[in-house]
Chains A and B, each alone.
Chain A
Amino acid sequence: NAGVMQNPRHLVRRRGQEARLRCSPMKGHSHVYWYRQLPEEGLKFMVYLQKENIIDESGMPKERFSAEFPKEGPSILRIQQVVRGDSAAYFCASSMNTGELFFGEGSRLTVL
């Protein structure tokens, strides 16, 4: 049973470009969470989604960030017009109902 799969593992973007991060949850998991980790810091909650629904986006910046979890395919975290402050590791976690959260290996975004 494959774990939570995130890609790309590393992404480099120039300021103003768009970044798309993908997350495939564990088989059978319908709950997806996105977290951001700045260097030397803890994990900050961004958004919680179920299939085709955003349940809690209280941690998402108001502009430039969006997330989706379509009926088919992976969850996508999209960052438009990236700035240097967006450089971070973005982690996806999935769970079955309200059980244990399993994390992926993360996508590390570097904005030049």
Chain B
Amino acid sequence: GENVEQHPSTLSVQEGDSAVIKCTYSDSASNYFPWYKQELGKGPQLIIDIRSNVGEKKDQRIAVTLNKTAKHFSLHITETQPEDSAVYFCAASNRGSGNTGKLIFGQGTTLQVKP
């Protein structure tokens, strides 16, 4: 079955610096790669996603890149702020007709942004 590996497990940066989180996936049929942010005691919230027909997507300070050949994708957060501190999860799925669309998650990265 699909397996998603995520690194690093913890990441500490100074406010204003950039943060990068990387994931690899095993199922070459995966075509949808979302990133979720989870704050303490809350449910995961989608922050950005990318589909396999594009290589990069950007939304303000957040960007995601996808390398289908190498089967890895990354989350980039620029100009980090203390409110970016949270646990971030990558996920992969095969979405489309005849597929369940279930997400397989990475293990999570705890990001700490120091003021």
* Residues of A bordering B, CB below 8 Å: 4, 31, 33, 35, 41-45, 48, 55-56, 58, 91, 93, 95, 98, 100-106
* CB atoms of A42 and B34 under 8 A apart: no
With A103-B43, A105-B43, A106-B43 given, is the CB distance from A42 to B108 under 8 Å?
yes
User: Which of B58-66, B69-77, B99-107 forms part of the interface with chain A?
Assistant: B99-107
Nearest chain A residue, comparing its CB with the CB of B90: A42
B22 at the interface (CB under 8 A from A): no
* CB atoms of B104 and A45 under 8 A apart: yes
Interface of chain A: mostly helix, strand, loop or mixed: strand
Q: 19 pairs across A/B with beta carbons < 8 Å? A: A33-B103, A35-B105, A41-B107, A41-B108, A43-B44, A43-B105, A45-B102, A45-B104, A55-B100, A58-B1, A93-B103, A98-B95, A98-B97, A100-B46, A101-B34, A102-B46, A103-B36, A103-B44, A106-B42
Contacts A42-B107, A48-B100 aside, 16 further interface pairs with beta carbons under 8 A come to A4-B43, A41-B108, A42-B89, A56-B100, A58-B1, A91-B43, A98-B96, A98-B97, A98-B101, A101-B34, A101-B46, A101-B103, A103-B43, A103-B44, A105-B42, A106-B42
